[in-house]
Structure 1
């Protein structure tokens, strides 16, 4: 790393992180910084090792925090440039500077007594969705190939979660502690409501079923009410509302509420697979094209496939996490 890179290190943030004084949002910022570049990961690992070694040797009262940070900034500003041809000297200088950074962070932020660990909870999904209860008894349904992280116990002034992918939230009301979803450049803030957040390469969409949320990016924000969908266009960096209400089936993976209107059994099966965590096997491929209309309000999987059986004159056989569909079908 260059001198400029070292000068741009978030040393105060790292200090709070290592000492356990960082807020959940600050801890997530450190996580983002580590992922920005492989050099950041290397610096983080080295500083962490020096920090822990200093913790074992620390036996005296800590100096003033402000003075330690000022000393660090002065050391970074005064560091002389190192010629690239003197590789060994450069490495030695970088290591020495790194030790100085870690030491300054340690003395500025190391609390008395035992180091407090900042516990972050991380949830990940593969193909299957995941249903979970958060520390405040809010519920979340994490769609496939998504991740969620938050501070254990929601002990900060806000209930902050960081989302990558898609998730449905049913949030308990806590007027004194707002619930905030951080996704990409967007913050979604609520007090108590149910809504879905979906992140793609081009947009971030928030669909609200009950209550209302505020989507914001910097100084720009919009309110999204029940039945509406708010959209953030990533390339244009614009917030807006879509025309009309969103379709209920878009939330079916989480709510298990569906309104099927003259769609194929193949399309129905795909949505039921995600919502119920099953795999549908068509023993007669011709059945995939059968169409039907029906509404389901969070019904058991047995009930849903019984209705399909009667409506389309097919046989649905459930075996563990698989559903086999056979017969002549299509109402004939």
Structure 2
């Protein structure tokens, strides 16, 4: 959680809410949001307070700078100070003063509820899949399938104007549609934003990949954002930086939830790459001439030995075992 409520990040968050943040400032905000789940929750609370303040705001001639100062005062829980008041106040001023006092009390109480009460009633839930795939249903009814050794964190209840989760590893999401509350996934330094759709997110040391199955997905990194549609894939490389988009060439991203490997003119090197990942194997193509040979078949709940036998027979090649390694030649 954000420990001090008067840090400069508050000013940046409000500038972002007002669409007045510069590119550099928005980058700083995105980095701060990706630093921790607590920061994401604080932003949701902050944004909700801002919206509540706008709804309760008294229509007056006070300028925006003064309004922002009052808002900061509310967030920072100012101590009451004795004021010297004229004995001959106008009734209108008295009414405004009472209204402002009520607004301050409401906002202060609301923030206290969010920062204290919600911590008790909206615990952060963390689910890890371990050595088996795992299916979980989120508070909004969205379904997530975690691949092995993957973790997802989310609040017990989605509050505020967003449904925010954090992911490490790989997962397939089938998101319940809600146009009023976008679903946002933070994975490494990449943000995935959707309303209602299905897609796969995979994070590794080298890169983060998002493959869309249905709907439209926005993938953002730093100041760059791209829209990804069905049968397209967005990739954020750790080395190259930035985001790229391309057609998804196969459906191997489904293997851990369907137990099927569908090969449609799939080059042998690509199938071997997925087999090494899915079975934690060490298959090596020693004969370079067979690397790009295409294979057309579907392996459904087959053992690795069975798949290697089919490959060997299909291409008339030899598969030799050398300890844990399987050498194709």
TM-score by length of 1: 0.50
TM-score by length of 2: 0.50
